[in-house]
Chains A and B, each alone.
Chain A
Amino acid sequence: MAASPARVREIRGSRPDQLPLPELLAGGEPVVLRGLVDGWSLVQAGRDSARAAMDHLLEHYNGRPLPYSWGPPETRGRPFYQDGFTRLNTEARRGTLDAVLADIAAHLDDPSPPTHYVASVPVDGVLPGLRAANDLDFAAHGVEAPPAIWIGNRVTASCHYDAPDNIACCAVGRRRFTLFPPAQVHNLYPGPLEPTPGGQAVSVVDFDAPDLARYPRFAEALAHARVAELQAGDALFIPSMWWHHVQALEPFNVLVNYWWSSMPAWIPTPMHALYHAMWAIRDRPEREKQAWREIFEYYVFGPAERAGEHLPEPARGALGPMDETMARRMRAMLIARLNR
């Protein structure tokens, strides 16, 4: 990584009860919100020590076993694949938070610890009450965005994208984010769609030692990269679909994030459409594919009204605005047609 990448734009002075959501969404670019959650009790406990932060978490823990990834020291904090890319290099385990934290604590000074990674667990499901003094006020915007918590040692979440918008709050430790605009998918060499280390396809490039002979276009991706380093108390807005590579940098790190979507609940994930298109369209002859590209451009990627506006409203059907009733019809129609 030669030239140092651009830094993510920063704003200061945001507060958990005055999230600048409209501005963030209108900007459509990543933004660091310095000190957004400085006042969280978990952030303050973490400033005393890793153990104080662990104790603070356990005070709120309801004892419910939670899933986590575990890897031997050779994992080097990178949940990824074994050679061959059909198996993960970590084990899916279930255990209590007490046990996970005790294991992490036992290796706080170990330069080469086993990997422990509790990823994306709903805060309300395991740490009821934590939100009382550690929360962002999405409700003020009429947005439902239940937080998820990420707990681990020096773990790297390999570069991936998520469909919802995201505010990630560094509560304990430090994290470095390397972000890429959605169009960089062409240069990031995404891996298998399944299995995946965290639910989303990840770049197979090892960011610590990129093999540019094997993945030459990654150099182009780096030219578009933006980095942000979060201290405890800082937060980062990651727009929907932006690729992000996330390195936790301390022996103990906790992140709390909020995903939300601007779409109503009856609009499903586009991943179904992507799978379906790979199945139904990808392997057709080039001429047919290009024709389908035009069809999709007309019906899907162009202005939402275009395909229906020259028709009387009652005749529009799926060409009209998608509402809950139409969503039910689409689901039933697709299930019936696919079930053969």
Chain B
Amino acid sequence: MARHELLDNVVHKDLRVDTRFGAGLGDPAGLVPVWPTEFAELQREYPIFLQKGEGESEYHAVALLGFDASENLFLDGDRWNANYLPGAVVRGPFSIGFRDPVPGGSLEPEPVVHVDMEHPRVARDGEGVAVFMPKGGHSPYLDHVITVLKGIHDGVAAARAMFATLDRLGLLQPVDLDVRFDEARGARVTGLYGIDRDRLAALEAGQLHALHRDGLLEGVYLMLASLYNMRRLIAEKQRRLRAQDGAGAAA
């Protein structure tokens, strides 16, 4: 049960966060939410897809971490084998909340930092990274988290605009992954969407130019390029299956 609180350097003065990886720390598996603001970093290591929840009208982006909901092929014991960590992982127990605008201030609700005090990464044992400095200042860790949250905040707006445009241009198509790991074993992942290469190639000059001008074309190609990471993910899965087989045979 999540318990979100407005982060406060008095209330949470001793708050520490476990930034390690491994069992029991609530690391994501299967799919992790991602945002266009991090596509450039992600596409070197993670396959990026879109998803649409039951009855939802808007798409959101996800990176594939494994071939079933409990699998994370980037995670190896307490190591996360990638150079870039998705923002949804880095932010740990922190999220963006909104506060009503103060009188005379801006027109829009003001983004603020919330912390989920029931998140498994909230350290109970005095271990972990301090969120605040001893006298109440921001720790470098908190500054980093805030940067990541700002990226996500910008990414939410960017995603809405980008995916609505891609949908309108008919560039999104359902993708069902049907993967073979060896003669006997494979996996299916359904309910994903990806870029339709043929439709992209068939865009008229004006549509293509509009995509480019609005800064969306790069994201389209980053999504396409990200699919080459499937090979890497499959190889890791095969390696794990072989290791498992070996362990089974040895036992």
Contacts and interface: CB of A to CB of B under 8 A. Distances in A.
Interface of A: 64, 66-67, 69, 92, 94, 119-122, 125-126, 196-200, 338-340
B100 A340 contact: no
A340 B104 contact: no
B100 A67 contact: yes
Contacts of A126: 107
A338 B100 CA distance: 27
Most chain A CB inside 10 Å of its own CB: which residue of B105, B107, B136, B137: B107
A120 B104 contact: yes
A69 B105 CA distance: 13
B102 to A, nearest CB: 6
B134 interface: yes
Contact of B107 (A66, A92, A199): A66
22 contacts: A67-B101, A69-B103, A92-B100, A92-B101, A92-B103, A119-B103, A119-B104, A120-B103, A122-B107, A126-B107, A197-B103, A198-B103, A198-B104, A199-B102, A199-B103, A200-B104, A338-B137, A339-B133, A339-B137, A339-B138, A340-B133, A340-B135
A119 B107 CA distance: 11
Contacts of B134: 340
Contacts of A92: 100-101, 103
Nearest to A79: B103
Nearest to B139: A339
Contacts of A196: 103
A94 B106 CA distance: 12
A197 B101 CA distance: 12
Interface string B95-115: 000001111110101000000
A340 B101 CA distance: 29
Contacts of B133: 339-340
A121 B105 CA distance: 8
A121 B107 contact: yes
Nearest to B133: A340
Interface residues of B, number: 14
Contacts of A94: 100, 109
A316 to B, nearest CB: 29
Nearest to B100: A92
Most chain B CB inside 10 Å of its own CB: which residue of A64, A67, A121: A67
Interface in B62-110: 100-105, 107, 109
Contacts of B137: 338-340
B132 to A, nearest CB: 10
Contacts of B105: 199
Contacts of B104: 119-120, 198-200
Contacts of A67: 100-101, 103, 107
A196 B103 CA distance: 8
Counting from the closest, the 10 A-B pairs by CB-CB distance are: A339-B137, A199-B104, A120-B104, A340-B135, A92-B100, A198-B103, A340-B137, A67-B101, A199-B103, A340-B133
A120 B135 CA distance: 36
Contacts of B103: 67, 69, 92, 119-120, 196-199
A198 B103 CA distance: 5
B113 to A, nearest CB: 16
A198 B105 CA distance: 9
A275 to B, nearest CB: 14
